Amino acid sequence: MNTVFVVTSADNRYSRHLGVMLTSLFTSTSSHAKFEIIVLNGGINNKNINLLRVMAEKYCANITFITMDQHTFKSYPISHHIKRAAYYRVSMSEMLDNSIHKVLYLDCDIIVKDDVCKLWKTDIDDYSLAAVEDPKSNRQKTLFLPGDALYFNSGVMLINLKRWRDNNIGNKAHDFIRKHPDLMLLHDQDALNAVLYGDWLPLHPKWNLQTIMFGLNHSESSFSCQELHEAITNPSIIHFTTSSKPWDYMNEHPYAEEYRSILQQTEWRTRFPGIVRRINDLRRPVKRLLFRILGL
């Protein structure tokens, strides 16, 4: 039986979405895999911790919560929908046991639709991580990278933790953030791209379908037409990357309903989902009209 180490980070505000992500992970894995879930905990309360433990036990997975030192990240810049928990992944090599050499990092605003053991088997011996390109990025010059450098999205990362430790990636990323806080438009993702240039393996976009990929011209990325089509029509991992999330009633992401469906399988399910959906369907056109009147 394969043991797959999955690392994620969350605060209490995202505990419900973490439950959805993990439920999708467990229910999408058909192969014989044992999951070791490690949560970099930024303040999840006891009630939600207990609910997450019950859920993990239901799927025969182990879950561990590591309390993060908030002082380390106190001065790090944040934005409206990206909080300090996003920076926790930079410290994972220090927080995880040295016996763990490989991990799959997953953000909470994700749903998994495929067996991640397929991704887990990717050979990354010669790289610090494997990830999917974040297309149409213009961050390269700002981060002192070559203009033609690929820029990856840090929401899904298969990490060679041994190489990460050997090359001191965590400390390099922390140093970059502290030296250039004004450059951290995309937070930890910017720092990791800055220090990992030339040391990461590009993955098929289906392993991190980002919202920007809908309507993307293949010439705006390194993806082929076939890869982009496959990612959009048959994604393995869906990542809700913009500030509008499927739990926002105005959100119209093509796969938003999949999130809501999985939510109903968790301890955070809505009691009357049909009624809530109909109310939101009525509210959306009213809000759009109001926005149009106000010129927003």
Tell me the per-residue pLDDT of 118-157, one tens digit each, with 9 for 90 and over: 999 999 999 999 999 999 898 999 999 998 999 999 999 9
Distances (CA, A) of 60 to 22, 37, 202, 291: 12, 11, 32, 47
Q: Residues 74-91: what's their mean pLDDT?
A: 73
Asked if residue 279 has pLDDT above 60, the reply is no
Asked if residue 276 has pLDDT above 60, the reply is no
More confidently predicted of 289 and 81: 289
DSSP category for residue 149 = -
C-alpha span between 3 and 22 (Å, rounded): 16
For the domain that residue 127 is a member of, what is the CATH number? 3.90.550.10
Q: Which residues contact 208 (CB under 8 A, 6 or more apart)?
A: 131, 132, 153, 155, 156, 237, 239
- Residue 241, judged by CB atoms within 10 A of its CB (0-12, 13-18, 19+), counts as buried
pLDDT of the residue at 17: 96
More confidently predicted of 270 and 50: 50
Count structural domains, the chain: 1
Q: Residues 13-35: what's their mean pLDDT?
A: 92
Percent of the chain with pLDDT over 70: 89
Structure-derived torsion over alpha carbons of residues 12, 7, 81, 208, reported in degrees to the nearest 10: -140
β-bridge partners, 37: 6, 63
Q: Is the dihedral of CA 56, 61, 62, 67 positive or negative?
A: negative
Q: Residues 171-186: what's their mean pLDDT?
A: 89
pLDDT of the residue at 40: 95
Beta pairing class for 129-133 and 200-202: parallel
> Residue 272: pLDDT band by 50, 70, 90 thresholds?
very low
pLDDT of the residue at 274: 52
C-alpha span between 223 and 211 (Å, rounded): 15
The amino acid sitting at 269 is: R
> Residue 2: pLDDT band by 50, 70, 90 thresholds?
confident
Q: Residues 33-48: what's their mean pLDDT?
A: 95
H or E element that contains 286 = helix 273-294
Asked if residue 79 has pLDDT above 80, the reply is no
Is pTM beyond 0.85? Reply is yes
Asked if residue 83 has pLDDT above 60, the reply is yes
Average pLDDT across the chain, whole number: 89
Range of the domain at 208: 2-294
Q: Residues 240-262: what's their mean pLDDT?
A: 89
pLDDT per residue as tens digits for the range 187-202: 899 999 999 999 999 9
